[in-house]
Structure 1
Amino acid sequence: MQHSAMLSALLARVEETRAMIGSAWPYHADPETGIWETVPDGDWCGGHWVECLRIAGRLEGRPELIEEARERTEWLRPKLEKDDQFRGHRFYYSAARLYAETGDPQLRALALAAAYALRAMAIPQNGAMPIGHEVQVKSTTLASRRIVAVDNVHPNLRLDFWAARELGDPVFEAGARAMLDVTIRDFLRDDGSTVEFIEYHQTDDRILRHFTLLGIHDDSCWSRGQAWAIAGFLRGWQEFGDTRYRDAARATFGYWRDKVGDVAPPWDFEDPDGPVDTSASAIVVEQLARMAVSWGNAEAREVTGHLPQMLDALATHMRPGGRLVDGCFNRPRNFADRSELIWGTAYLLMALSYLEEGRVPC
């Protein structure tokens, strides 16, 4: 499937989803019927649906979709007060990107409020960004200001990168660097794989345990966590130009490519015969597309050169009507482990929209 055809199909799926869900939020869809399981409040990925609406409104010249995205962003506003790592995704993909689209100062204020609230979560001893006391993921129960996920090198830092440019406040660059550095120090194994969770001591910069909830066992490598790490290190390299982030990105992406090449990975790299997770590939593809259109670094082209093949591989998992299936939400709980996942759709749509427009909104 041509990449332009993939984009058109995804845009059609956004319209179909709108008609299907009403005022609810899409979460995961049955791979055979395409019927969405919804949540009333967006869960951790409400911002991703807002971004789908914004992209569709922009590319199709439909201001009513931009307004719908704006309205849903207001529905997310109460989550600003939640002590939750996913405020980064929630308000970057809604308020910050809609501010870039519309120039509405209220959206800027909301995004900045979320950026400062997130930055204040950092663990004092090492600057790591915890999951939070009120972290919201429907399929998983875990909450703490001392537990850090490998994911956090991605969602927690989206607003840091944006706010650093928006305000010039050095706290955001310093905070992002601290989280990137802790992830390299504590989560990155010698072979380039990553740990999913680490619990730190209450007062010392000391690891109490490492563990998994979404992987096959504590010492395995959960592929979506690896994807967050790859994308996070690549973005850190792009933002700061530091070779240590480049080297971490090369290590994590190298591990991925040694295992599966361009195709969607298994849900856990130690279960190669289990379900794959297309949403993990989509996360990496989004960052590769960002780099391809917004950064002229010659070394980066060694990485972004894999983008066309990874997009082609994802196309093989698209069903008629623009449904990206074979996403694995939570394999240990057998929860939506071969499904269409709203964030997988969103990241693929983002990547294709960057390539279509030759730009990234912010």
Structure 2
Amino acid sequence: MKVKVILFALFTIGCFEAGAQKINRSKVWSDAVKQSDLMLEHISMIRDTKPELVTPRTIEEGSLKMVKSGDWTSGFFPGILWMLYQHTGNGHWKQDAEKFTALLEKEQWNGDSHDVGFKIYCSFGNGYRLTNNPHYKDVIIQSAKTLVARYNSKIGAIRSWDFRRDQWQFPVIVDNMMNLELLFAATRLSGDSLYYQVAVHHANTTLKNHFRQNFSSYHVVDYDTLTGEARRKMTFQGYADESAWARGQAWGLYGFTMCYWETKDKRYLQQADSIASFILNNAALPKDGVPYWDFNDRSIPAVPRDASAAAIIASALFELSQYSSQGARYKKIAGKMLESLTNHYRSKPGDHSGFILLHSTGHKPANSEVDVPINYADYYYLEALLRSGK
């Protein structure tokens, strides 16, 4: 049996890496423009009667689901609009991006969760990168102040969630690595090293406690607020406490890649390489490179895929390819993932309320957003597409 598993793993990897990149990029971008125009039409109809709903998140029971600015995913659609502006240079996308970015401005003060990084940096961060708008700079810095208020120096990490206080003392999720980009940016923009230091401490604590010997990641690590030590390691959105939830592995890969390009600390590059090795050499990774929602679900292959995880991984690998000794391999694999998503996981133009990718999985244990379009899948897909041209 062990030999069969090894042979299957080698076959999977070999077939996966062998594919040539076959993407008509101009058509992909043209389709993305059409879908986003359609999305804006749907949004307009909903916001006419429900102006408190500011951004599209998914499709629920056949209809577009919109959410308020406080939702953790609220920054992704403005980010998509900024990337469309970046690619096309068309001023109307800039105007739309500015409009939807402005709807999130109050989130710079919202300290209820670590997600201020997702909300603000995907929107205002992309906006500042492309326009140098000084107001966007101020929002980024204030958002970083809001985020560091959740930092605990005894633990050396930023608190992720405030709910279930009867179950957790100080929960930190691997997703939180993604919010560190906001802090690194705030130090560059303000000259205040506090944000950089908090980001590094958080990354180091995650590096120490979140990963197993095979470099797969736990989803949640709960810390003792008196001793600062990890008291429990578990999952919330994965298959089991000791399983490898696919999007969690993607967050870890992307997060440590980002920490390396921000700090040039080789420990982060080594960690990113190791996480990539776990993902890409995993026997449960399908031939097309789009992972099942959890690498350890015992019902594989009769389980949902997660296109969002593939998009995040592809985007991270394109970036990691610029720094790693395995760069050529990573770029080839990321290209294959992008090819798979493009050719087999995209919506036809005019369908699915304007979403680009299909077949993502949000929170399977809660039977929430399973096998549906989700806005962060589209965001990281377009980001990967932009990075593929570097």
TM-score (norm 1): 0.88
Q: Kindly indicate whether the alpha-carbon contact (under 8 Å) linking 2:169 and 2:224 is maintained by their aligned counterparts in 1.
A: no
C-alpha distance after superposition, 1:127-181 (max 9, x if no partner): 21211438xxxxx999977110011111x21212222333343223322221221
C-alpha distance after superposition, 1:292-351 (max 9, x if no partner): 5xx466554443332211111212211312731110011111111100110000111122
1:312 aligns with: 339
SS of residue matched to 1:43: coil
Taking a change above 3 Å as real, the CA distance of residues 289 and 258 of structure 1, as seen in their structure-2 partners, is closer
Instruction: Find out whether 1:187 has 2:210 as its counterpart.
Output: yes
1:240 aligns with: 263
Q: What letter matches 1:51 in structure 2?
A: G
1:100 aligns with: 129
Which one of 122, 147, 151 corresponds to residue 171 of structure 2? 147
Instruction: Find out whether 1:345 has 2:378 as its counterpart.
Output: yes
How far apart are the structure 1 equivalents of 2:101 and 2:316? Answer: 23
How far apart are the structure 1 equivalents of 2:30 and 2:99? Answer: 24
Q: Kindly indicate whether the alpha-carbon contact (under 8 Å) linking 1:130 and 1:144 is maintained by their aligned counterparts in 2.
A: no
How far apart are the structure 2 equivalents of 1:117 and 1:300? Answer: 36
Q: What letter matches 1:98 in structure 2?
A: G
CA RMSD of aligned residues (A): 2.5
1:224 aligns with: 247
1:29 aligns with: 59
| Structure 2 counterparts to residues 70-109 of structure 1, below 5 A | 70-83=98-111, 84-109=113-138
SS of residue matched to 1:250: helix
Q: What letter matches 2:109 in structure 1?
A: E
C-alpha distance after superposition, 1:72-92 (max 9, x if no partner): 222212222222111001111
TM superposition shift of 1:54:
1.4
1:137 aligns with: none
TM superposition shift of 1:30:
6.0
Taking a change above 3 Å as real, the CA distance of residues 210 and 246 of structure 1, as seen in their structure-2 partners, is same
C-alpha distance after superposition, 1:75-126 (max 9, x if no partner): 2122222221110011111112212222221111001110122123212113
Q: Kindly indicate whether the alpha-carbon contact (under 8 Å) linking 2:315 and 2:334 is maintained by their aligned counterparts in 1.
A: no
Taking a change above 3 Å as real, the CA distance of residues 142 and 12 of structure 1, as seen in their structure-2 partners, is farther
C-alpha distance after superposition, 1:247-275 (max 9, x if no partner): 21122111111221651111111113211
Q: Kindly indicate whether the alpha-carbon contact (under 8 Å) linking 1:132 and 1:144 is maintained by their aligned counterparts in 2.
A: no
1:328 aligns with: 361
Taking a change above 3 Å as real, the CA distance of residues 74 and 159 of structure 1, as seen in their structure-2 partners, is same
| Structure 2 counterparts to residues 1-362 of structure 1, below 5 A | 2-4=23-25, 5-22=27-44, 23=47, 24=53, 25-29=55-59, 35-41=63-69, 43-83=71-111, 84-133=113-162, 146-154=170-178, 156-259=179-282, 260=285, 263-271=289-297, 272-273=300-301, 274-291=303-320, 295=322, 298-315=325-342, 316-321=344-349, 323-356=356-389, 358=390
Taking a change above 3 Å as real, the CA distance of residues 62 and 42 of structure 1, as seen in their structure-2 partners, is farther
For structure 2, the 5+ residue unaligned runs are 1-21, 48-52, 350-354
Looking at CA atoms only, which structure, 1 or 2, has the larger radius of gyration?
2
How far apart are the structure 1 equivalents of 2:330 and 2:84? Answer: 28
How far apart are the structure 2 equivalents of 1:127 and 1:13? Answer: 43
How far apart are the structure 2 equivalents of 1:103 and 1:65? Answer: 16
C-alpha distance after superposition, 1:166-202 (max 9, x if no partner): 3343223322221221111100100111101111112
Taking a change above 3 Å as real, the CA distance of residues 246 and 59 of structure 1, as seen in their structure-2 partners, is closer
TM superposition shift of 1:49:
0.5
Taking a change above 3 Å as real, the CA distance of residues 182 and 300 of structure 1, as seen in their structure-2 partners, is farther
Taking a change above 3 Å as real, the CA distance of residues 331 and 244 of structure 1, as seen in their structure-2 partners, is same
Taking a change above 3 Å as real, the CA distance of residues 64 and 143 of structure 1, as seen in their structure-2 partners, is farther
How far apart are the structure 2 equivalents of 1:300 and 1:67? Answer: 37
How far apart are the structure 1 equivalents of 2:237 and 2:166? Answer: 12
Q: Kindly indicate whether the alpha-carbon contact (under 8 Å) linking 2:360 and 2:371 is maintained by their aligned counterparts in 1.
A: yes
TM-score (norm 2): 0.82
Identity %: 24
Farther-moved stretch of structure 1 (248-257 vs 186-195): 248-257
TM superposition shift of 1:11:
2.5
TM superposition shift of 1:211:
1.9
Taking a change above 3 Å as real, the CA distance of residues 340 and 43 of structure 1, as seen in their structure-2 partners, is same
Q: What letter matches 2:291 in structure 1?
A: P
Q: Kindly indicate whether the alpha-carbon contact (under 8 Å) linking 1:126 and 1:178 is maintained by their aligned counterparts in 2.
A: no
Task: Tell me the matched-pair count.
Answer: 347
For structure 1, the 5+ residue unaligned runs are 135-139
How far apart are the structure 2 equivalents of 1:56 and 1:244? Answer: 34
Q: Kindly indicate whether the alpha-carbon contact (under 8 Å) linking 2:269 and 2:324 is maintained by their aligned counterparts in 1.
A: no
SS of residue matched to 2:291: coil
Taking a change above 3 Å as real, the CA distance of residues 297 and 216 of structure 1, as seen in their structure-2 partners, is closer
Q: Kindly indicate whether the alpha-carbon contact (under 8 Å) linking 2:107 and 2:120 is maintained by their aligned counterparts in 1.
A: no
